[in-house]
């Protein structure tokens, strides 16, 4: 049995929603022979504007930096090239930072994509699963000779964003309501994003800190992660860094490394 014509209404309407160059689908009509241009335009407008608003809510610092008109134009291009696949809008725009990096008119702001990555990580941390962070004194109970072999389980909210620019400073300055002064964008910065309870906290990591936590998050034992950090930053302070990460709520538990995994 061929499908009734009415089952194709969604197939007829969907492609025209995000593409203003397409004609209004002929399946829709106005009452009493009225035209459908403005009427169908309401749906087109709702779809695009609501998705722009969703991106503006996620990427508030990018919006503040670029200004409303620039942001909306950029978002419009992005929405057409990457419409959402999930009905959960807080999942939308995962590849928006990559889009910004390629976006022709944003080339004069090379750090903008990294600011967007920090904002994306912020939202992921905000919605991450709840977990009780590792207690600050957790390491005090461990015998010193066993410390090097400890492995750490990351908190579900913990994120790391590395940037060759001052992405953390620019992010922080543009997420507050305060006026933004001049920022030297050329200092490389690494962001640690954590959410020990409900508040998301973004910190800047010291030199070596990013490699240290990315090793720990990948499951390396503490000793190995510390060696990697020292190799990159000879002044790296292991005790201060591990205490700082625990205090930030980056981990939920520690365990001795298991033998036989090649480490």
- Kindly give, in sequence order, each residue whose CB lies less than 8 Å from that of residue 9, ignoring residues fewer than 6 positions away: 27
Identity of the residue, 28 or 138, whose beta carbon is nearer to another protein in the bound complex: 28
Residue burial 209-222, b: 16+ Cβ < 10 Å; e: rest: bbbbbbbbbeebbb
d(CA 180, CA 80): 32
Lateral strand order in the sheet of 189-194? 159-163, 189-194, 201-204
Among 70, 73, 84, 139, binds another protein (CB under 8 A): 84
Among 19, 20, 22, 37, binds another protein (CB under 8 A): 37
Cβ atoms of 249 and 155 closer than 8 Å: yes
Q: Smallest distance, Å, CB 56 to another protein? A: 12
Q: Is residue 198 near another protein by the rule CB under 8 A?
A: yes
Identity of the residue, 24 or 242, whose beta carbon is nearer to another protein in the bound complex: 24
Q: Is residue 251 near another protein by the rule CB under 8 A?
A: no
The 10 Å Cβ neighbour count of residue 241 is: 21
Q: Is residue 177 near another protein by the rule CB under 8 A?
A: no
Q: Is residue 250 near another protein by the rule CB under 8 A?
A: no
Alpha helix ranges (H) inside 82-166: 96-102, 112-127
- Kindly give, in sequence order, each residue whose CB lies less than 8 Å from that of residue 92, ignoring residues fewer than 6 positions away: 51, 54, 55, 58, 84, 86
Q: Is 234 helix (H, G, I), strand (E, B) or coil?
A: coil
Identity of the residue, 41 or 164, whose beta carbon is nearer to another protein in the bound complex: 41
Handedness of CA 129, 131, 136, 139 (dihedral sign): negative
Among 102, 127, 146, 263, binds another protein (CB under 8 A): 127
Cβ atoms of 52 and 72 closer than 8 Å: yes
Q: Is residue 52 near another protein by the rule CB under 8 A?
A: no
Identity of the residue, 15 or 110, whose beta carbon is nearer to another protein in the bound complex: 15
Identity of the residue, 3 or 67, whose beta carbon is nearer to another protein in the bound complex: 3
- The region of 81-89, 140-148, 224-232, 252-260 touching another protein under the rule CB under 8 A is 81-89
Q: Is residue 102 near another protein by the rule CB under 8 A?
A: no
Q: Is residue 50 near another protein by the rule CB under 8 A?
A: yes
Q: Is residue 39 near another protein by the rule CB under 8 A?
A: yes
Instruction: Note the residues at the interface with another protein (CB under 8 A).
Output: 3-11, 13-14, 17-18, 27-32, 34-40, 42-43, 46-47, 50-51, 54, 83-90, 125-131, 156-157, 195, 198
């Amino acid at each position: 049995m061929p499908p009734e014509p009415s089952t194709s209404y969604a197939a007829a309407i969907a492609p025209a929603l995000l593409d203003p160059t397409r004609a209004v689908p002929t399946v829709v009509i106005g009452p009493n022979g009225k035209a459908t241009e403005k009427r169908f335009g309401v749906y087109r407008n709702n779809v695009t504007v609501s998705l722009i608003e969703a991106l503006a809510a996620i990427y508030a610092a990018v919006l503040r930096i670029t200004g409303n008109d620039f942001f909306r134009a950029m978002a419009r291009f992005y929405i057409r090239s990457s419409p959402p696949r999930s009905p959960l809008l807080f999942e939308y725009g995962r590849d928006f930072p990559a889009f910004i990096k390629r976006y022709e008119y944003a080339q004069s702001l090379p750090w903008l994509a990294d600011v967007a990555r920090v904002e994306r990580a912020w939202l992921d941390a905000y919605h991450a699963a709840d977990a009780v962070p590792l207690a600050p004194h957790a390491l005090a109970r461990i015998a010193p000779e066993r410390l090097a072999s400890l492995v750490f389980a990351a908190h579900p909210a913990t994120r790391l964003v590395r940037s060759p620019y001052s992405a953390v400073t620019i992010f922080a300055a543009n997420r507050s309501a305060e006026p933004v002064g001049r920022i030297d964008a050329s200092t490389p910065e690494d962001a640690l994003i954590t959410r020990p309870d409900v508040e998301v906290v973004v910190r800047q990591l010291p030199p070596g800190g990013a490699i240290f936590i990315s090793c720990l998050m990948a499951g390396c034992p503490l000793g190995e992660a510390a060696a990697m950090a020292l190799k990159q930053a000879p002044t790296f302070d292991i005790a201060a860094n591990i205490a700082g990460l625990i205090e930030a709520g980056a981990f939920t538990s520690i365990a001795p490394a298991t033998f036989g995994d090649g480490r």
